[in-house]
Amino acid sequence: MSHNQNHDNGKKKKKVALSSVFASFFMTAMKLVVGLLTGSMGIISEAAHSALDLVAAIMTYFAVKIGDKPADSDHPYGHGKIESVSALIETGLLFLTSFWIIHEAIKRLITHDVEVHATWYAFVIIIISIIVDISRSRALYKVAKSTNSQALEADALHFNSDIYSSAVVLLGLVFVAFGIKGADSIAAIGVAFFVLIAGYRLGKRTIDVLVDTAPKGVKETVDEIILKSEEKIIVDYVRVRSLGPNVFIDMGIKISRKHSLEKVDEIINNLKNEISKKIPEAEIAIRTSSIKSEDETIVETIQVLAAKNSMFVHDIIVENLNDKKFVSFDLELPKNLTVSEAHEKASYLEKLVQDSCNTKIELNIHIDPIIMKELKSDNISDEELSLIKQKTLELAKNIDKITDAHDISVRKIEGKLYITLHCYANGIISLEESHAQATKLKNIIRENVPNVERVIVHVEPK
């Protein structure tokens, strides 16, 4: 989620939370006055419930205000859990209020010492309460859903439960108006049970967040995305937890070791993008480890083990003869190594390959000396350059299937000549065939031009 989106969501959350504070204050004051005037336990219990809503709304406002603060050194995962702490306190207040209402209602039912007056303004205040509760509940749910705010959803739950509890009180007043004694107290007990149910739901959700219970459906969504991935990915673990409006996903996956670091980064980024599409509020951390895949060939095994040990190999050939495998390849090592040092490195790589292969193989390694640093080159004289170019063009005419030698360059490094040239070949011939012709030209040039150290022939499709 972008910084601008977070900022906009924060403004929406604070605005709707503040409006709930004013609505709760208005309803608490009206219910308390009417409840005291009429002596209705149902309306007084509703006033207590609204007072609780006022406290909850104030807490919600500060919770969303603090919870939207960015992560810092003391809170590396952000401040989102302040919303859960706020909701937990609200849950405790809900239960305390409910037990007080039940106690007072039962006391009235036993003693019959309070007379209730079902006045017209008692009905009006309850009807107004229901209208306000419907309005606030819808507004809070809308913003809670768009911003994934647990605190706002808890506040919406309060207002939603108020709708039903107010309806119960209204029904109790109707019975009182018809002279049915005790109806108001029974209605108050009904309100208390509505509050208890709301408190249980809110408390369960809050505790789930605080103890890092995985949100339902998130892990299944992640598993489905991995299953549909083009790459073969093995899941080590998926850990999911909620934190305020965000969902933190911590994953461990295993990827074939034959992939380069760049390819692994690409796989991780693709995975993160796909998860973010389905779960926009997700903060994703992925740890990778490499494994030998079932379809890894001997050639790939040699390439992986060589690269892992900062070695370079080429011309890997695998032969099968009488149920036995013969493997040969060229190993490039720095030219300044001694024979013993080079042989030790080759033997080490050979042991790694043997240990990694399931079948017994016979290995033959040819060691090529290579230059591992940048060298300073010099130009040759124009006369010498002209002679070498002319000679190279003449020699190239004797090679089949590659033609038109051009872009001939000659440099001198430590007294030796380095020649590079381009030529054309028919685009439909195989790479093996064109390489053979290029190698033939390279060898002819080295045989006929004195003091040549290296020849590079670049073949292009005509």
Q: State how far the Cα of 64 lies from the Cα of 59, in Å rounded to an integer.
A: 9
> Phi/psi of residue 182, each to 5°?
85, -10
> Phi/psi of residue 337, each to 5°?
-70, 150
pTM for the full model?
0.56
Exposure string of 434-452, with b = 16+ CB inside 10 Å and e = fewer, is beebbebbbebbbeebeeb
The pLDDT confidence band at residue 409, using thresholds 50, 70 and 90, is: very high
pLDDT at 88: 73
pLDDT in tens, 277-292: 888 878 888 999 988 8
Tally of CA atoms within 13 A in the half-sphere of 68 that contains its CB: 23
Return the sign of the alpha-carbon dihedral for residues 240, 243, 245, 250.
negative
The pLDDT confidence band at residue 209, using thresholds 50, 70 and 90, is: low
What's the CA angle centered on 16, arms 14 and 19, to 5 degrees?
105
pLDDT at 1: 47
Q: Which residues pair with 379 in a beta bridge?
A: 411
What's the CA angle centered on 330, arms 305 and 412, to 5 degrees?
120
Q: Please give the domain boundaries of the chain with CATH numbers for all domains.
A: 3-210 (1.20.1510.10), 225-291 (3.30.70.1350), 298-370 (3.30.70.1350), 378-461 (3.30.70.1350)
Between 375 and 316, whose confidence is greater?
Answer: 316
pLDDT at 283: 83
Question: Looking at residues 99-115, what average pLDDT do you find?
Answer: 69
pLDDT in tens, 29-42: 777 777 777 776 65
What's the CA angle centered on 448, arms 443 and 453, to 5 degrees?
60
The pLDDT confidence band at residue 96, using thresholds 50, 70 and 90, is: confident
Q: Which residues pair with 324 in a beta bridge?
A: 321
Which residues make Cβ contacts (< 8 Å) with residue 388, sequence separation at least 6? 380, 408, 410, 417, 419, 449
CA 163 to centroid of chain Cα atoms = 39
DSSP 8-state class, residue 337: S
Which residues make Cβ contacts (< 8 Å) with residue 66, sequence separation at least 6? 79, 82
Question: Looking at residues 329-356, what average pLDDT do you find?
Answer: 92
DSSP H or E run through 366? strand 361-370
Are β-strands 402-413 and 416-425 bridged in parallel, bridged antiparallel, or unpaired?
Answer: antiparallel
Longest Cα–Cα distance of the chain, Å, equals 125
Nearest Cα to Cα of residue 396 among 448, 450, 452, 433: 448
**pLDDT, averaged across the chain:** 80
Question: Looking at residues 65-89, what average pLDDT do you find?
Answer: 63
Q: Beta-strand (E) ranges in 149-215?
A: none
Q: Which residues pair with 262 in a beta bridge?
A: none
